[in-house]
A = this chain, B = another copy of it.
Amino acid sequence: MPFPTYWLRDNCPCTDCRDPRNGQKLFQITDLPADLAITAQHEQNGHLEVLWSDGHRSRYELARLAEPAAGDGRTEADKRLWEAADFTAGIPEADWDAYLGDPAERVAVLSAVRRSGFAVLRAVPAVDRQVLEVARTLGFVRETNYGELFDVRVEAAPNNLAFTSAVIAPHTDNPYRDPVPTLQLLHCLANSATGGDSGLVDGFRAAAILRAEAPEEFALLTRTPVPFVFRDRNTELRAERPLIEVDSLGRIREVRFNNRSIGTLRLPDPAAAQAFYAAYRRFAEITLRPELRLEFRLGPGDCLIFDNVRLLHARTAFEQDGSRHLQGCYADLDGLFSTLAVLERRGAALDAIAELFEGEGASEYLGEAVTMAEHMLQAGALAEAAGAPAHLVAAALLHDVGHFGGSGLDLMKGRDNRHSERGAEWLAQWFGPAVTEPIRLHVAAKRYLCAVEPGYRARLSEASEYTLGVQGGPMTEQQAAAFAARPGALDAVAVRRWDEEAKYADAGTPGFGHFRPLLAALMG
């Protein structure tokens, strides 16, 4: 298989080449010799092993090498382009409490922002500065010249049209910033005025329509830098970027659209300016097509979250017959996408752990009267019944996951499978040390308790007595003192006691699903 030489070496997954904690590469591309070559290679069991001319050895999973391009989720290829009728059954929304409490709800909301460009949270407390709290659940607030947050209400001397009661045509915010804030939140505190409804237009859809109807005008807008400007007493911003930005494959990636802040375009000749304005006007007309415009009304407690490099937002004019007050802030899509990816990763991890309990865990537990799953569920239930804090319930529940993968059999054959370390390492992908360290130490805790607590060893089950020998036997006095001084030693001892007790058949413990919310809350 003709893998390109430097590409293959650059992707070596060994721990000398990549930091296992974060996947960061530990060498520079220039560290590789100029005449690097493959000396030998062979494929086996879905793996490719390579010996390199500089003596390095690499081992690859072939399936990973062949994975398709992932993309970064930012182009039209990863979006659901929409028009208003696509939401006749309702817009993406969730209640604030559910969003906070249920990872699945958070995934749904953030996925909607990623795919459709927006979502609305309902029943968010309608209090001052709450919008910043919402932003912090999904990323990082981006401060601008308007402050950490901005108040959208009628002002006496507005420095922006937003702070009047006038109609506002569909636009994106802050195109005069570079980098432009890629995410915006608008939290409604009051809206009893007549009018002042919100409108959204999918700018990617509008751009795609332009591309279909007038490909040359679309192309012109992608390659004409437009000067966006904003100026007040303390600010002078200028950014030159195209109205429609595409990636090198021509896929729509960002839209900037705001006639208010377009400065004087300087083009080489009048014909170029004429052509630009024709294309710009056509694009602007498309953004005004009624079928593209989704209208809804924000009420107190509603918080609209939207993609500011894709969606255009608008507002109808309103009367001064009631109060209207929104608070807004900016944030960025990269943070939101990261939050979403981590939530999805955690959900997948919980699924995988659940599968271990239900599949492999249903098998025999090293000669005990219970299955592995029953044993761990009992340990978790005992911790819970004892009123232990959540991290110890989780540690008790998960303490033996290192046995999974069949290695428990090794242990019964007289080889220490080091299951406590293996389990702790694996779980450290998702859980902090409060959960993983008692697991890492729970075998040591047995050796410790047998050394220091009279009568403890006599209470071990037959299998546990057998494995004690494999694991090193009771600690010496010196070992026991060192163990007791380690952080987490007390927690490990607590887990160990539940471990010993959790070996009764038919104890009627709850299933894995009972513990899932507790585990979800501990991840991170």
Contact = CB atoms under 8 A, between A and B. Distances in A.
A265 B233 contact: no
A353 to B, nearest CB: 16
Nearest to A238: B72
Interface in A45-76: 64-65, 67-74
A236 B345 contact: yes
Contacts of A247: 225, 240
A487 interface: no
Could you say how many copies of this chain the assembly holds? 2
Nearest to A174: B334
Contact of A140 (B23, B144, B263, B524): B144
A265 B224 CA distance: 29
A231 B22 contact: yes
A231 B22 CA distance: 5
Given A238-B70, A332-B179, A273 B4 contact: yes
A333 interface: yes
A482 to B, nearest CB: 19
Contacts of A5: 274, 277
Interface string A10-29: 11000000010111111111
Interface string A236-280: 111110100001110000000001111111110011011011101
A184 interface: no
Given A74-B178, A179-B182, A182-B179, A285 B4 contact: no
A281 B24 contact: no
A87 to B, nearest CB: 24
B227 A6 contact: no
B233 A338 contact: no
A264 B333 CA distance: 22
Contacts of A271: 4
A463 interface: no
Interface centre among A2, A24, A158, A285 (most CB of B within 10 A): A24
A143 B144 contact: no
B72 A239 contact: yes
Contacts of A88: none
A288 B277 CA distance: 46
A193 interface: no
Contact of A157 (B21, B140, B267, B334): B21
Nearest to A147: B140
A363 interface: no
A342 B234 contact: yes
Contact of A270 (B4, B27, B161, B169): B4
A142 interface: yes
A337 interface: yes
Chain A: interface residue count, which band? 35 or more
A6 B338 contact: no
A346 B390 CA distance: 59
Nearest to A24: B260
Contacts of A176: 334
A499 B21 CA distance: 72
Contacts of A115: none
Given A141-B143, A159-B21, A284-B30, A225 B237 contact: no
Contacts of A209: none
A41 interface: no
B337 A19 contact: no
Interface in A301-315: none
Contacts of A73: 238
A39 interface: no
B259 A22 contact: no
A67 B229 CA distance: 16
A157 B332 CA distance: 28
Contacts of A284: 28-30
Given A234-B342, A239-B334, 12 more contacts: A7-B265, A7-B277, A10-B259, A21-B157, A24-B160, A29-B281, A30-B169, A32-B281, A67-B264, A73-B238, A140-B144, A233-B430
8 A-B pairs with the lowest CB-CB distances in the bound complex, closest first: A179-B179, A69-B266, A6-B277, A236-B341, A4-B273, A140-B143, A223-B248, A7-B273
19 contacts: A3-B270, A6-B274, A6-B278, A7-B270, A22-B160, A22-B232, A25-B260, A26-B161, A29-B259, A29-B277, A71-B240, A141-B143, A145-B335, A179-B180, A179-B334, A225-B248, A234-B342, A236-B342, A237-B334
